Amino acid sequence: MLPFTLKQLRYFDALATTEHFGRAAEACSISQPALSVQIKELEALLGAPLVERTARRIRLTTLGEEFVQRTRTVLRHVDDMSGLARTADGPLKGTLRMGMIPTVAPYLLPEIVKRLSHLVPELELKPKESVTQTLLQDLQQTRLDFVIAALPMSEPSLREFALFDEEFVLIRSDQDAKQPVPDPTELQAMKLLLLEEGHCFRDQALSFCDVSATDPSIVMEGSSLSTLVQMVNAGLGLTVLPEMAVPLETRGTNVSVSRFKQNKPRRTIGMIWRKSNPLSKQLMSLGATIRQVGQSQIEKADVTISGLQNDE
């Protein structure tokens, strides 16, 4: 049996994911030379190279492509066994790795951390914010224990737990506050500000507005909801926000907030984890607590929106 170490397998997994020694070292919290030494030792044990080294990135060799798949299977089973050990005493404790999408994290994560630090003081949350596709990849490859994102995922290997629903609201210049709320067909002719490609909220907004990603009505693609609201405040156009984002993102601005009258757009936010995760029962319990936090935040947002609405 070849004496591979779990450390070497995790380093190789990070290198295969990032395709860059520097980024892989950063992800593993070690120096680049140290990671490089571990990869070379792994290749020496195998008797063949796993990666092709170039100036800007690495490429997996044929052996590397096959080896990384088996590596991830091993790591997934190891992580699940670690989770199994944590179920012995009942309540969650230790480190729990959580992923959250950017259109939820700023408005929900601080409250989750505060609530859980009080209720489960032995639990250490390790959060990561990223787009859905990246989080799901990390979840499948056991780099995360669970993810909070928009449902559904419709992935057979994953379990979904709905947390709360939230509406999308229209954000316009304060000068347009008295104008009727446009329907989706009217939005097609207006100057839309949307998130850049990769955000699921962008896709949901495009679907509601019934426009394509290349429609000329899209005058700006931003990296954050905050940027979009500031551009509305500057008179560049209009946008839509998930209602939970309204209290934070509209603070200090001169924008108007309107709820749509018909065919109200909404999304369901939920928790997702691997069905094979032995912490499933504890994650269900955790989800019930997060659901309470989320619903509380929605109620606070509703109060803010009611105070900002000027349209009838």
Interhelix angle for 6-18 vs 62-86, to 10°? Answer: 120
Tell me the three state secondary structure of residue 44.
Answer: helix
Tell me the three state secondary structure of residue 261.
Answer: coil
The hierarchical CATH code for the domain 92-312 is 3.40.190.290
Kindly provide the b/e burial profile for residues 97-113, where b requires at least 16 CB atoms within 10 angstroms of the residue's own CB: bbbbbbbbbbbbbebbe
Please report the pLDDT score of residue 191 as a whole number. Answer: 86
Residues of the chain with pLDDT > 70, as a percent, come to 93
The more confidently predicted of residues 245 and 86 is: 245
Is the predicted pLDDT of residue 312 greater than 50, yes or no?
Answer: no
Is the predicted pLDDT of residue 158 greater than 90, yes or no?
Answer: yes
Is the predicted pLDDT of residue 214 greater than 80, yes or no?
Answer: no
Instruction: Give the C-alpha separation, 19 to 42, whole Å.
Output: 17
What are the sequence ranges of the domains in the chain? 6-85, 92-312
- Which of 117-126, 182-191, 213-222, 239-248 tops mean pLDDT? 239-248
Structure pTM?
Answer: 0.74
Please report the pLDDT score of residue 294 as a whole number. Answer: 96
Is the predicted pLDDT of residue 89 greater than 70, yes or no?
Answer: no
Instruction: Give the C-alpha separation, 102 to 241, whole Å.
Output: 12
Residue with tokens 């939005």: 187
Assign 2 a pLDDT band (cuts: 50, 70, 90).
low
Residues of the chain with pLDDT > 90, as a percent, come to 47
Could you tell me the fold of the domain covering 6-85? Arc Repressor Mutant, subunit A (1.10.10)
The more confidently predicted of residues 217 and 104 is: 104
The encoded tokens of residue 309 equal 């609405």
Instruction: Give the C-alpha separation, 37 to 43, whole Å.
Output: 10
Element of type H or E holding 27: helix 21-28
Is the predicted pLDDT of residue 94 greater than 90, yes or no?
Answer: no
Element of type H or E holding 295: helix 280-308
Please report the pLDDT score of residue 215 as a whole number. Answer: 67
Is the predicted pLDDT of residue 110 greater than 70, yes or no?
Answer: yes
The percent of the chain in helix, strand and coil, each rounded to the nearest 5, is 45, 20, 30
pLDDT digits (tens, 9 = 90+) for 242-269: 999 999 999 999 999 999 887 788 999 9
Is the predicted pLDDT of residue 219 greater than 80, yes or no?
Answer: no
Element of type H or E holding 70: helix 62-86
Assign 152 a pLDDT band (cuts: 50, 70, 90).
very high
Assign 73 a pLDDT band (cuts: 50, 70, 90).
confident
Average pLDDT, the chain: 87
Tell me the three state secondary structure of residue 278.
Answer: coil
pLDDT digits (tens, 9 = 90+) for 7-62: 898 899 999 988 899 989 988 889 999 999 999 999 998 889 999 988 788 889 98
